Amino acid sequence: MVTVSDYAGLKPAWCPGCGNFGILEALNRALIEMKIEPHQVLLVSGIGQAGKLPHYTRGNVFNSLHGRPVPPAIGAKIANSGLIVIAISGDGDAYGEGGNHFLHAARRNHDITYLVHNNRVYGLTKGQASPTSDVGFITKTTPYGAASPINPIALAIVSGASFVGRGFAGDIDHLSNVIKKGITHRGFALIDILQPCISFNHKNTFQWYQERVYKLEDERYDLSDKKAALEKALMWGEGIPIGIIYEENLPVYEDQLPALSEGPLVKQKIDPRRVEELLAEFM
């Protein structure tokens, strides 16, 4: 039996009241309810306040460089396809420094889950604009206001991700369910998480989101309808949809690798004599 104590990690060094606490709780709850043990999970994070999350729970951890959780997560998933691989980023990590990896991981449809703590500001470096900051958001690095934000949900859909969801750090039950579905989904699952930053983003507060988010589960639409999903992706402002926005079964990158049909690479024996058949080709 998997319990809360299995996922008791180090004491978080986040600001009291940070949206990250809700995300940590939602992830732990998802793993516990799915009866996943910590040694079955690999958490690969980048740099930023979100990147610290794996230290505050338990599991295998590869805390990688800024913007880079996705590539090592892919390498580890291919090396051991038995691992449940969850990559963890913030908005700067995922959509700024790691933008290219995000697009191509979605396109190739790797079987990993990607949680992006999107607080629309840089927290770790203390309050600069991020790729998802509002137009005109004034910070020390954008004294005349930030440029237009990217739309990660729409970007993931058009890039070929097979699961695109959005959660809210202030609704732990709902977020936990979206995370569970993302983990269960085979293929690249992006979950963009609306995360209030109490220190540096005084606009997108818990209250601001609470007044605007609504659950897509209350509506009915075909989740594999890309056009309908894109319409939801473009909604922002007075009504912000949360839940699964797009989901389709698409070919999974790892399923197309013939080497993995023999089981996880890491369990395969090394035998130099296998090269004998190749040498014959050079005689």
Partner 1 sequence: MLLTGNEAISLGAIAAGCKFMAAYPMTPASSIMEYMAAKSKDLDLVMVHAEDEIAAINMAIGAAYAGVRAMTATSGSGLCLMVEGIGLAGITETPVVIIDGQRPGPAVGLPTRTEQGDLQFVLHAHHGDFPRAVLAPAIIEDAFWVTVKAFNWAEKYQLPVIILTDQHLASSHATVDPLDLSQVPIDRGTLFSEKEDDPLEYMRHRVTKFGISPRAFPGLGKALVVTDCDEHDEEGHLTEDAGERTAQVQKRLRKLIPLEKEIGTPQKYGPKKAETTLISWGSTYGAIHEAVDILRKEDTSVNMLHLNELWPFPSKAVADAVSKARNSYAIENNATGQLARLIKAETGYDVSGRILKYDGRPFTPAYIAQAVRKERC
Which residues of the chain form contacts with partner 1 (CB under 8 A)? 10, 38-40, 42, 44, 47, 52, 54-55, 58-65, 68, 70-80, 82-83, 100-101, 103-104, 257-260, 262, 265-268, 270-279, 282-283
User: Least distance to partner 1 from the beta carbon of 60, Å?
Assistant: 3
Q: Give the whole-angstrom CA distance, residue 192 versus residue 244.
A: 10
Three-class SS of residue 31? helix
* Nearest Cα residue to 123 out of 282, 15, 261: 15
241 is written with which tokens? Answer: 């949809």
User: Least distance to partner 1 from the beta carbon of 270, Å?
Assistant: 3
Q: Give the whole-angstrom CA distance, residue 142 versus residue 102.
A: 25
Write the DSSP assignment of 174-199 as a string of letters: HHHHHHHHHHHSSS-EEEEEE---TT
* Nearer CB in complex with partner 1: 58/117: 58
Residue 82 backbone dihedrals phi, psi, to 5 degrees: -80, -15
| Radius of gyration, alpha carbons of the chain | 20
Q: Report which residue type is found at 252.
A: V
Alpha-helical runs (H) found in 160-248? 172-184, 206-210, 226-233
The C-alpha angle 270, 276, 279, rounded to 5 degrees, equals 125
* Nearer CB in complex with partner 1: 35/273: 273
* Nearer CB in complex with partner 1: 65/250: 65
* Residue 273 CA: distances (Å) to CA of 53, 73, 258, 267: 44, 31, 20, 18
